[in-house]
Chains A and B, each alone.
Chain A
Amino acid sequence: MAERVRLDDITKRFDETLAVDDVSLAVEPGETVGLVGPSGCGKTTTLRTVAGFETPTEGRVLFADEEVTHVPPEQRNVGLVFQSYALFDNMTVRENVEFGLKMRDVPETERAERAEELLDLLDIGGMGDRDPTTLSGGQQQRVGLARALAIEPRVLLLDEPMTGLDAKLKTRLQEEIGSLLEEIDVTSLYVTHDQAEAMVMCDRIAVMNDGRIEQVGTPAEIYEAPANGFVADFVGTSNRLDATVRNGELDFGHATVEAPADAPEGEVTVVARPEAFALDGGPVEATVEDRFYLGEHVRVSARTPDDQELTLRFDPEHAPADGRVTLSLDTDRVHLLRG
């Protein structure tokens, strides 16, 4: 039922600005792929190209094996969900959901049935006759999603759908909608600047920067094995330390630890998540500069003797006091980037 969506070498130029630079991506049937990256990285332009609101300067967009690059948006059958909800205020919730079906001349009884089904699915049954402006942000976004799903889109496109919501509601909605997207058979592309959200919602994540895709992979792959420094920095907190691999050892200058098995000889950048460090009198020395109490853990900023910054994370009970700390580094949990 669900279809594969493919972007083939998409490039989009606005005058002299290169917004999207040779992006290729395949979203498998039923899969949810996240497009994440800082603002201006081209993720929204990519999404709009799939929706048909931008025509790529070069490249093709394919739904199943059918090229849709030049098909206008109203004939593409894509579902769009926006940050601002973009509900039609002059219509009731039900009329919003039925809008796409009405445009397709679906008979009235069938429309009503389908709308009811979707409102129930999204847990807003019984709100069909309400004016969308009277709903909360979370409820409005559910209406937005119901409206987009009503037309049984070939691909569902979500553009920062949770960004306007408060933290608690966001978490709940992420979980709910995440499992809903798993359940229903729809291919989705999910744009967000929030990598944590993408990790919850998506089967795979494409990290974008400067119009290019830096890495595509499952959340675990992106987190554990970032392809480069940008991905390491963007996804989660990471420490990047300069080091040299020599004789099976990782030499940080001020300290030496055992190198991972497959480490190449020479200069490397060590990408280490905060949790790779343990406070147990290991060889890595650092001076604590700042401590931030965050409830579940304490975040500590520290500096090594050769002036490299470290971000560490500890249980509140085990957080070090100010001053000098000695740490061990679990080299199975680090990732090396060449020179």
Chain B
Amino acid sequence: MSTPDADGAVTGAVPDREPGRLGRLSARYGRALVTALTLVTVVFLIGPVLVTFVASFFQNWTGLFPSGGLTLQNWAQALGIADTVGAARGLGGFWTFVAPDVLFVLQLPLLPDLTLYFPFDFYIQTPIPMALGFSVLLALLGVFINLLVGVPVAYAVTRYDFRGRRLMNTFAVLPIVPGIILGIAFLKTYPGLPSVIALVLGYSLLKIPYMVLAVQSSFESMDLRQMEESARSLGASWTTTFLRVIVPGAKQGIISGSIICWTLAAAEFNFSYVVYSSGPRPFSLFLFENISNNPFLRAAAAISIYFVIVAAVTALLNYVGENGFSVGGVR
């Protein structure tokens, strides 16, 4: 076989063509234009957030930029740990429920603010930071349920062909019920349901489509049947195969689905507002409390707190996702 003549091959195969006017413009300015557009969008979107964050540490914000001295006062007030006790308590009241027939009261020595009343619930005087932490957990619990339900559903509709598959697929990925409607439905259907349980259930119901969509796209890029059969022929039971091969294979989808679901659950206002009656306040209500009827800088601080928490949880989910699966893998 002779060595192909590179030059000859190129000129022979692809005749030189004069690109059109649009083609020439695109070649010259295309990249710069896209870069500029991206930059403008990012600056336009990130700018206000950044300014808000910075402003939350200042004493004044009347003009375009904040002024006055640096202070932690705004954050302290939003977190309810300011010296002016009255303000925080008056506005943020985190103890709302008093059990009428208390059999006994449990006061934990390590958590002086947490009082447990039996046989009812642990309705409490929760400091705001603790309520926020609790709210993070609430949304995480919702994500956990989303994972338990969403991953198998995504797997089933991708892997198997069964009666009702399309219907299930459609329902699983359509966020059909608005939070406010689901909230009212919950109040009517389960009147005695503690807020905590209602919130977790509601979050998981409302956000499941995002989990299914994200995980499904991962599954679709895998040859599920052949992977499964390989693992089983190597001696893994169906359960082992699912947990050690199939689920870790969808790692990227699971991580992004969890982040999306958590963020959306934390930001879910309508449902939380309708359903919440007692106990630690959900995230979105914390924001609402601080934004309505409060100085602007305190709202800025609350928003900044929210952003810090979102960033932290996103990083956490990402870290757990990237490193957590190897535990189940073969190491």
Contact = CB atoms under 8 A, between A and B. Distances in A.
Given A86-B227, A95-B331, A74 B232 contact: yes
A103 B240 contact: yes
A4 to B, nearest CB: 19
Interface stretch (A77-85, A196-204, A229-237): A77-85
A123 interface: no
Interface centre among A72, A73, A153, by most chain B C-beta atoms within 10 angstroms, is A73
Chain B interface extent, by class: 20 to 34
Interface in A65-81: 72-80
B226 A82 contact: yes
Contacts of A89: 222, 249
Given A91-B329, A102-B330, A103-B240, A80 B230 contact: yes
Contacts of B325: 90
A151 B236 CA distance: 12
Contact of A99 (B223, B234, B237, B249): B234
Interface centre among B226, B230, B245, by most chain A C-beta atoms within 10 angstroms, is B230
Nearest to A150: B234
B189 interface: no
A76 B233 contact: yes
B149 to A, nearest CB: 22
B248 interface: yes
Given A90-B248, A90-B249, A95-B329, A80 B233 contact: yes
Contacts of A148: 230, 233-234
Contacts of B240: 103
Q: Shortest 7 CB-CB distances between A and B: which pairs?
A: A100-B234, A103-B235, A90-B248, A86-B226, A80-B233, A84-B223, A95-B330
A78 B229 contact: no
Interface residues of A, number: 33
Given A74-B236, A84-B223, A98-B330, A90 B251 contact: yes
A142 B101 CA distance: 71
Contacts, number: 78
Contacts of B232: 53, 72-74
Q: Is the interface of B mostly helix, strand, loop or mixed?
A: helix
A310 B240 CA distance: 57
B105 to A, nearest CB: 49
A86 B223 contact: yes
A151 B229 CA distance: 15
Q: Is the interface of A mostly helix, strand, loop or mixed?
A: mixed
A89 B233 CA distance: 17
A206 interface: no
Nearest to B226: A86
Interface in A247-276: none
A88 interface: yes
B274 interface: no
A240 interface: no
Contacts of A53: 229, 232
Given A90-B251, A98-B330, A151 B235 contact: yes
A266 B261 CA distance: 78
A212 interface: no
A151 B234 contact: yes
Given A88-B227, A90-B329, A147-B230, A103 B236 contact: yes
B231 interface: yes
A176 to B, nearest CB: 21
Contacts of A52: 233
A318 interface: no
Contacts of A153: 233
